[in-house]
């Protein structure tokens, strides 16, 4: 019986996903554990593996690659040798069986047991598989990758194929984007004739649509000096959430300057003790996470969220860390920070940051946070106004640590050089008032100035 392969739900909050790349082609044999395709959820790329054995079948004319699809959307089937997939069983076009031995081949064979002829009624060409990085490079170099032969795994196009094509001179190049080529097939536009009218220019979807509807009004041409890059799915998600936070919360930011001299000494001691220790050295963000978690257990109103008309306060402290990646801002979550040692926090946060930056982080590691930290100190930022990570109540911004001359005894007129740092707390005034928020920030300040008393918990 044919097994349906659908857009999976990769995390409780996932509602849609984008099919980035096929790693199995129509007719390929698959075994349990084989990677079939790559899905982009809101904040990560995820390889989807098979749990079945059989022959991988993609419905002909399927236009799902690169599209944002709801969870549960049918993508493909896995059928057994000799079994027709549902789209062929319902079609007058029958599977053509190639000359084969009388006994059906094993699933361990290198060759599929049947070959199929796809219906050509839609006139649509199947594009080759291409890696996400190769797709980006092709767009940057204006290379039409749809006609390339891939040298990667399963024949997919990889970056070296695109760069080789960009360096290879061609007598009469036809520069056309894959989206424009598909549009031309759908609208019946002769791309060869269109290319002859535009020598040396790259054909885009707009050119194809204009050729298909020549009487339509011509939009204003973009400034050729401008660099136009479509927003990625992650960038759209970030934009939507930032706007939602700004429009729905009554955000207020409190800022205080903290003497972090003792915190600097603690971290230096940890670095010195880690010379022969393979474990990650706790960062200032790790130290602040632990201290903040201790303060949150005393001030649960800042560890809350608004759920409908109810104010929900969690006894557990799950801290999110804002991480800057090439794809955009991602917030991995370390759970139960108040119950973990500083070394445990450092090891978990280091692993999550690495996964976030290489795009392999699990969706569940990006959800469930009750409080967020964001550190811009490494960029020489003193104080700023963080945006609340909905549906949380508050977020703490960490500024740089700077040596300053400060008054330590006004009566004796004594000055000293101390390591000073600004902390910026943005909170939702709908959930908590200013005085409780100020007391929480004051408690964090006390913990930072006397870290030895709290980091050992």
Residues marked active site are found at 429, 433
Using CB atoms within 10 Å of the CB of residue 372, give its burial: 0 to 12 exposed, 13 to 18 middle, 19+ buried. buried
Q: How many CA atoms lie within 13 A of 112 on its CB side?
A: 24
**Residue 232, by phi and psi: left (phi above 0), alpha (psi -120 to 50) or beta?**
beta
Residue with tokens 């600004």: 422
> Which residues have a Cβ under 8 Å from the Cβ of 378 and sit 6 or more positions away?
400
Tallying the residues shown for the chain, one arrives at: 457
What are all long-range contacts of 202-209, with beta carbons under 8 Å and residues at least 24 apart? Answer: 202/142, 202/175, 202/176, 202/177, 203/174, 203/175, 203/176, 203/177, 204/177, 204/179, 204/180, 205/177, 205/179, 205/180, 207/180, 208/180, 208/183, 208/184, 209/183
Q: Is residue 62 within 8 Å of residue 90, measured between CB atoms?
A: no
Give the whole-angstrom CA distance, residue 116 versus residue 314: 56
Under DSSP, the state recorded for 379 is G
Of 28, 9, 2, 132, give the one whose Cα is nearest residue 73. Answer: 9
> How many whole angstroms separate alpha carbon 456 and alpha carbon 298?
17
């Amino acid at each position: 019986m044919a097994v349906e392969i659908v857009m999976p739900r990769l995390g409780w909050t996932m509602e849609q996903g984008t099919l980035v790349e096929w790693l199995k082609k129509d007719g390929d044999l698959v075994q349990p554990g084989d990677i079939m395709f790559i899905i982009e959820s809101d904040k990560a790329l995820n390889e989807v593996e098979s749990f079945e054995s059989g022959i991988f079948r993609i419905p002909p004319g399927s236009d799902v690659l690169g599209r944002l699809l709801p969870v549960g959307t049918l993508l493909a089937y896995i059928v057994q040798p000799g079994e027709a997939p549902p789209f062929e069983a319902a079609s007058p076009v029958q599977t053509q069986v190639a000359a084969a031995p009388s006994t059906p081949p094993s699933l361990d064979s290198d060759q599929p047991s049947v070959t199929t002829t796809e219906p050509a009624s839609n006139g649509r060409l199947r594009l080759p598989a291409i890696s996400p990085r190769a797709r980006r490079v092709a767009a940057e170099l204006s290379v039409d990758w749809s006609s390339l032969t891939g040298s990667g795994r399963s024949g997919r196009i990889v970056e070296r194929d695109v760069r080789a094509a960009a360096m290879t001179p061609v007598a009469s190049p036809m520069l056309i984007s894959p989206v424009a080529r598909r549009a031309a097939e759908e609208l019946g536009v002769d791309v060869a004739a269109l290319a002859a009218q535009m020598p040396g220019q790259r054909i885009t979807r707009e050119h194809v649509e204009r050729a298909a509807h020549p009487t339509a009004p011509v939009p204003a041409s973009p400034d050729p000096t401008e660099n136009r890059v479509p927003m990625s799915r992650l960038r759209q998600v970030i934009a939507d959430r930032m706007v939602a936070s700004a429009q729905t919360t009554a955000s207020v930011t409190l800022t205080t300057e903290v003497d972090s001299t003792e915190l600097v000494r603690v971290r230096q001691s940890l670095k010195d003790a880690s010379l022969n220790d393979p474990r990650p050295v706790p960062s200032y963000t790790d130290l602040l996470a632990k201290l903040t978690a201790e303060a949150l257990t005393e001030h649960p109103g800042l560890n809350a969220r608004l759920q409908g008309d109810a104010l929900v306060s969690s006894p557990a402290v799950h801290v999110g860390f804002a991480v800057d990646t090439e794809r955009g801002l991602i917030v991995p979550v370390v759970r139960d920070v108040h119950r973990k040692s500083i070394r445990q926090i450092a090891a978990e946060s280091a692993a999550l940051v690495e996964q976030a930056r290489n795009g392999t982080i699990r969706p569940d590691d990006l959800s469930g946070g009750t409080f967020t930290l964001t550190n811009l100190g490494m960029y020489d930022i003193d104080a700023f106004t963080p945006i609340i990570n909905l549906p949380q109540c508050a977020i703490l911004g960490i500024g740089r640590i700077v040596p300053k001359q400060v008054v330590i005894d006004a009566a004796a007129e004594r000055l000293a050089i101390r390591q000073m740092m600004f902390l910026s707390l943005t909170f939702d005034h709908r959930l908590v008032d200013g005085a409780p928020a100020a007391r929480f920030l004051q408690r964090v300040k006390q913990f930072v100035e006397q870290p030895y008393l709290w980091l050992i918990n």
